[in-house]
Chains A and B, each alone.
Chain A
Amino acid sequence: DSGVTQTPKHLITATGQRVTLRCSPRSGDLSVYWYQQSLDQGLQFLIQYYNGEERAKGNILERFSAQQFPDLHSELNLSSLELGDSALYFCASSYSPREDEQFFGPGTRLTVL
């Protein structure tokens, strides 16, 4: 158990809908990262937050947004969902923003029908 929690574990929704994925980092970790893993595009870094501020941005679509709240949990919002958004979404956390050892959550499997 990495100490990172993600909810929900599974999510099935329809095209055009909007969903929110939630991540709670390990206790004491200030940095949160979001990744997408799909069959088509492999593992991709989406975005990183550190202590509430956006730190780095990767291949995140404009339909996606994220934020980190004062209690350090983070949410990834996916809107206008398309079939291609079906993927496993991982959250990870670390203490520093410079990618010290990252601890990954179990992931949220999103299926868009």
Chain B
Amino acid sequence: AQKVTQAQTEISVVEKEDVTLDCVYETRDTTYYLFWYKQPPSGELVFLIRRNSFDEQNEISGRYSWNFQKSTSSFNFTITASQVVDSAVYFCALSETNAGKSTFGDGTTLTVKP
């Protein structure tokens, strides 16, 4: 069975601090996809990134970066120089290959204070 663990329930930082959100996953599949989503206070879900299990290259998109380490089954998300607008709940998810079935973590609530 698949499982996604986001051990940090809540994180609070002050603007301009860097923050890392942890995600640890479990799967028996050799091919799978990992995702991060953002849910701001307004409630909508926003896709941030998809990574397949064969691509362990780190990715950077502006202030966002992702570190995928298969050896530790982790897919961590770092926000550099955080801003108040980054305040949201962030979900990590795992998906089987060739199917849309996703397993979500419980989410990490990030609060960025001015």
Q: Which residues of A contact B (CB under 8 A)?
A: 2, 31, 33, 35, 42-45, 48, 50, 55-58, 88, 90, 92, 97-104, 106-107
Contact = CB atoms under 8 A, between A and B. Distances in A.
Contact of A42 (B33, B99, B106): B106
B8 to A, nearest CB: 15
B100 A107 contact: no
B98 A98 contact: yes
A76 to B, nearest CB: 15
Interface string B57-96: 0000000000000000000000000000000000101011
Contacts of A90: 45
A106 B44 contact: yes
Interface size class of B (residues with CB under 8 A): 20 to 34
Interface of B: 33, 35, 43-47, 50, 91, 93, 95-104, 106-107
Contacts of B44: 2, 104, 106-107
Contacts of B91: 43
A108 to B, nearest CB: 11
Contacts of A56: 96, 99-101
Contact of B47 (A35, A48, A104): A104
Contacts of A88: 43
B107 A42 contact: yes
A104 B37 CA distance: 10
13 contacts: A33-B100, A43-B93, A45-B104, A48-B99, A56-B96, A58-B102, A98-B97, A98-B99, A98-B100, A99-B100, A104-B46, A106-B44, A107-B45
